[in-house]
Amino acid sequence: MSGFRDVCSSSSGSVNVMIGVSPAEERDDNPAAALSSEDSSSPEETVRGAELDLALGLSIGLNSRRNHHHSKVRSFSSSLASSSSSLTRESGTKRSADSSAAASKGPVAIGWPPLRTYRINSLVNNQAKSLATEDDIQKDTTKNGVKKDDVGFIKSSMLVKVTMDGVIIGRKIDLNALDSYEALAKTLEQMFFHTPSSVTTRCKGSELLDGSSEHIITYQDKDGDWMLVGDVPWQMFLGSVKRLRIMRRAGETGGGK
Amino acid sequence: MNYFPDEVIEHIFDFIASHKDRNSISLVSKSWHKIERCSRKKVFIGNCYAINPERLIERFPSLRSLTLKGKPHFADFNLVPHEWGGFVHPWIDALAKARVGLEELRLKRMVVSDESLELLSRSFASFKSLVLVSCEGFTTDGLASIAANCRHLRELDLQENEIEDHRGQWLNCFPETSTALTSLNFSCLKGETNLAALERLVARSPNLESLKVNRAVPLDALTRLMSCAPQLVDLGVGSYENEPDQESFVKLMDAIKKCTELRSLSGFSEVAPLCLTAFYPICENLTSLNLSYAAEIQGNHLVRFIQFCKRLQRLWILDSIGDKGLEVVASTCKELQELRVFPSDLHDEEDNDTAVTEIGLVAISAGCPKLHSILYFCKQMTNAALITVAKNCPNFIRFRLCILEPNKPDHTTSQSLDEGFGAIVQACKGLRRLSVSGLLTDKVFLYIGMYAEQLEMLSIAFAGDTDKGMLYVLNGCKKMRKLEIRDSPFGNAALLADVDKYRTMRSLWMSSCEVTLGGCKRLARNAPWLNVEIINENENNDLMERNEEDEREKVDRLYLYRTVVGARKDAPPCVTIL
């Protein structure tokens, strides 16, 4: 049966590439395909959340046997935390740029899925809005229309950058879509801490605020000083905040911007 | 031998518009080279570091229109540091000094400053058109200079730029005498808009065909705008998250009905479904529809709208439309040429049955015979579906499939997707652009190398097993211009196998692959006509024990490109040019 080997050995002119050959045949002829089919038929795929990790761990693990320098890749492909399938690379000591991130064991967003920041922000805005202001919207809008003075008007957004130690890519958050520190903490929790893997530090939004978590939220104000979030009334905070940073409490390795 | 006077030849050349053709003409003979270069009005530079402005001006003294691209494509996904480069200022400066009669400037992924815009606005008396796509570094102050000083401005088109909004009055800066505007797009501006200034501007621009406003333009303002610009062909609307009241709705619909020339609709970054229905009267005229930012509209509303859009040629939509919705598109939009389906929800919702799958893709391919470009984000795919798509649509020019989860196999057979993509490249003989995803082995690259003869741009992520994969592509795809690879196990052997290949390509990007510093250094030595850039961004530079001299160290990001002007002088510290 024509197969991978045939394809390799014939010249391009007369080859009949085996498109659409049944899986059984393919598996026999094609070691690569056999490997990939083995990869995915893991019996441990029970819990949906863990499924991604395990399946990928297996498939990449097998790959990495053949390429022993190739880093393992684990995918946290769900949450808004990375707004993308974020990947952690556990690299050897020779890798440079990613080592710090890997060592910190935080989620690392590396531009996947391939969507422009502009577009991701528009989704983030929508998510943040629906998270924080669902109650408000229900109060403000009726089924048939809106308050007279509000026809078509929309609050302009107040986007501030949020960085987290150990995460290379910063995110943006619309503070005008939130109404309190609790909402902020919850949103940040969703953005940075929600992953299916339990390797990342589990963290509740409230913990971020009250100091019981390993991370704290800080912000840079108009004067350039870094302050702890939560000390001043929310509206005052909105007036002076320029950017946010989620810092790790202990053993923090400097280098923030 | 030329039997015609130069003027006649020049006149003939005027009919030849495509850059490729004009480049070919200039190679025919010395005399044709001269005539061509002296008469050339439009120049396209795909990589701003491949050449410098001085040489450009020397060769094309009659330049009127310049297109420049800066950062590599993966900069869109935050893989390139902001300070990497792509500054337009030296270009504008040089063109100004040489008194080039610049009329059009189109920039993509470049860094533009307010100073640059100011200089631009003051240096070219006939300047007509500014198009900025995915640029950054400027504010609305820069826009104010353009508005104020470019007396003959016809087009100001800002697409997805990062613009610092000083909430100033840049719209006010268009002089009252400015009536030549044909296109105004400021949809990416985040701040509030001076509505009165905008309305006055639109009212005095009878030639305005394209207007794209930002989120801050409310419904009643939009109604007034449309009322005084019924000649609009292309409209981008703002955000309307609240349902309009009856009166506003009726007024809006009346205004829309008068826009009988309207062919293209976009914007809608938040829109209550009722607002969408106001556009029903002109649906059947639409040829282009971009609802890809309308994250809050549910699939059924989208579908109801699209059902009326029988003439649609271009559709950008969110995956909330679902497979069922795509089936409706397939049966309604028989003229469809380009489709983009973006993800609406980057959570992994367990019960997200409404996202699109291979079923939607197959339906589209079956129903839309003119389809030639597709960008499709989905959570799952099968070989069988891709094979069917290939059979249904052999005319693809661009085929970009992004399965959200890296390395995901065919979900029915657990096989890799090699066969599916293989079918695509084999059937689509005119394929110029391809993005692959899902679980892929070296085999898919064997197919690509064998069949994708017209392929110019290939994007690879999390694919392949060995260097052979990349080699198949480099050896096979004769027309390859841009190759971008991330997180794939290709290393030095592939990189170095055929150095001369890079003469025929614009650029190569490799990130998180297996190439080492030593390999890159060797390449740079063997190819002095290449800029081999290593990008290494580290927050904790001082704490890293990076041994710079260790040649076995893997390179995190490699970007190489051919150039005739050597290493650039404006590289930031995180970029090393070998």
Mean pLDDT value across chain B? 91
- Sorting pLDDT into bands at 50, 70 and 90, what band is B538? low
Across B1-23, average pLDDT? 83
pLDDT digits (tens, 9 = 90+) for B63-80: 999 999 999 999 999 899
Angle at B107 between CA B199 and CA B316, to 5 degrees: 65
pLDDT digits (tens, 9 = 90+) for B234-285: 999 987 767 778 888 899 999 999 999 999 999 887 777 788 888 999 999 9
Q: Are A173 and A244 in contact (CB under 8 A)?
A: yes
Angle at A224 between CA A220 and CA A228, to 5 degrees: 35
Question: Do residue A67 and residue B241 have CB atoms under 8 angstroms apart?
Answer: no
| Of B213 and A102, more confident | B213
Please give the pLDDT value at position A234.
85
Please give the pLDDT value at position A162.
84
Distance, in Å, from the CA atom of B54 to the CA atom of B68, rounded to the nearest integer, reads 14
Distance, in Å, from the CA atom of B480 to the CA atom of B474, rounded to the nearest integer, reads 8
Chain Cα centroid distance, residue A135 = 26
Which among A200, A190, A194 is positioned nearest to A105, based on CA atoms?
A200
Closest approach of chain B CAs to the CA of A199, in angstroms?
18
**Helix, strand, coil percentages in chain A from 3-state DSSP, rounded to 5:** 40, 15, 45
Interface mutation target, options B407, B458, B488, chain A, most CBs of A under 10 Å:
B407
Of A60, A111, A168, the CB nearest to B74: A111
Q: Are B563 and B51 in contact (CB under 8 A)?
A: yes
Q: Are B10 and B33 in contact (CB under 8 A)?
A: no
Question: Do residue B514 and residue A79 have CB atoms under 8 angstroms apart?
Answer: no
| Closest alpha carbon within chain B to A82 | B346
Which among B446, B382, B440, B413 is positioned nearest to A37, based on CA atoms?
B413
| Of B117 and A97, more confident | B117
Closest approach of chain B CAs to the CA of A103, in angstroms?
12
Output the six-digit token pair for A173. 């958050």
3-state secondary structure of B424: helix
- Sorting pLDDT into bands at 50, 70 and 90, what band is B155? very high
Taking CB atoms and an 8 Å cutoff, what residues of chain A touch B418? 32-33
To which residue do tokens 């893989």 refer?
B79
Distance, in Å, from the CA atom of B527 to the CA atom of B564, rounded to the nearest integer, reads 12
Judged by a CB distance cut-off of 8 A, whether residue A139 touches chain B is no
pLDDT score of A222 more than 70: yes
| Closest alpha carbon within chain B to A196 | B348
Please give the pLDDT value at position A106.
29
Distance, in Å, from the CA atom of B220 to the CA atom of B203, rounded to the nearest integer, reads 15
Taking CB atoms and an 8 Å cutoff, what residues of chain A touch B134? 116, 118
Output the six-digit token pair for B2. 């030329």
Of B269, B342, B538, the CB nearest to A96: B538
pLDDT digits (tens, 9 = 90+) for B459-497: 999 999 999 999 999 999 999 999 999 999 999 999 999
Output the 3-class SS for B67-95: EEECCCHHHHHCCCCHHHCCECHHHHHHH
Question: Do residue A152 and residue B406 have CB atoms under 8 angstroms apart?
Answer: no
Residue type, A257: K
Q: Is A251 left (phi over 0), alpha (psi -120 to 50) or beta?
A: left
Please give the pLDDT value at position B508.
97
Judged by a CB distance cut-off of 8 A, whether residue A85 touches chain B is yes
- Sorting pLDDT into bands at 50, 70 and 90, what band is A126? low
Q: Are B414 and A58 in contact (CB under 8 A)?
A: no
Q: Which residues pair with B400 in a beta bridge?
A: B375, B435
pLDDT score of B511 more than 60: yes
Question: Do residue A145 and residue B487 have CB atoms under 8 angstroms apart?
Answer: no
Across A114-136, average pLDDT? 67
Of A7, A19, A109, the CB nearest to B387: A19
Taking CB atoms and an 8 Å cutoff, what residues of chain A touch B489? 63, 67, 70
pLDDT digits (tens, 9 = 90+) for B203-234: 999 999 999 999 888 888 999 999 999 999 99
Question: Do residue B191 and residue A156 have CB atoms under 8 angstroms apart?
Answer: yes
Of A112, A123, A256, the CB nearest to B295: A123
Mean pLDDT value across chain A? 55
| Closest alpha carbon within chain B to A5 | B443
24-83 in A: which are within 8 Å (CB) of B?
A: 26, 30, 32-33, 35-37, 39-41, 48, 52, 56, 59-60, 63, 66-67, 69-71, 73, 75, 77-80, 83
Cα dihedral across residues B408, B410, B411, B415: positive or negative:
negative
pLDDT digits (tens, 9 = 90+) for B345-360: 776 554 556 789 999 9
> What element of type H or E holds A92?
none
Please give the pLDDT value at position B309.
95
To which residue do tokens 């008194």 refer?
B99
Judged by a CB distance cut-off of 8 A, whether residue B185 touches chain A is no
Judged by a CB distance cut-off of 8 A, whether residue B554 touches chain A is yes
Taking CB atoms and an 8 Å cutoff, what residues of chain A touch B79? 110-111
Q: What percent of chain B has pLDDT over 90?
A: 76
Distance, in Å, from the CA atom of B33 to the CA atom of B538, rounded to the nearest integer, reads 47
Please give the pLDDT value at position A49.
39
Q: Is B407 left (phi over 0), alpha (psi -120 to 50) or beta?
A: left
ipTM of the complex: 0.86
Of B216, B242, B406, the CB nearest to A150: B242
Q: Are B35 and B24 in contact (CB under 8 A)?
A: no
Output the six-digit token pair for B180. 């030549």
- Sorting pLDDT into bands at 50, 70 and 90, what band is A175? confident
Distance, in Å, from the CA atom of B333 to the CA atom of B343, rounded to the nearest integer, reads 21
Output the 3-class SS for B431-495: CCEEECCCCCCHHHHHHHHHHCCCCCEEEEECCCCCHHHHHHHHHHCCCCCEEEEECCCCCHHHH
Taking CB atoms and an 8 Å cutoff, what residues of chain B touch A5? none
Taking CB atoms and an 8 Å cutoff, what residues of chain B touch A128? none
Residue type, A164: M
Distance, in Å, from the CA atom of B546 to the CA atom of A100, rounded to the nearest integer, reads 11
Taking CB atoms and an 8 Å cutoff, what residues of chain B touch A8? 446
Q: Work out the number of other CB atoms within 10 angstroms of the CB of residue B207.
A: 11
* Residue B211 DSSP one-character state: E
Across B499-521, average pLDDT? 95
Distance, in Å, from the CA atom of B422 to the CA atom of A26, rounded to the nearest integer, reads 14
- Sorting pLDDT into bands at 50, 70 and 90, what band is B540? very low
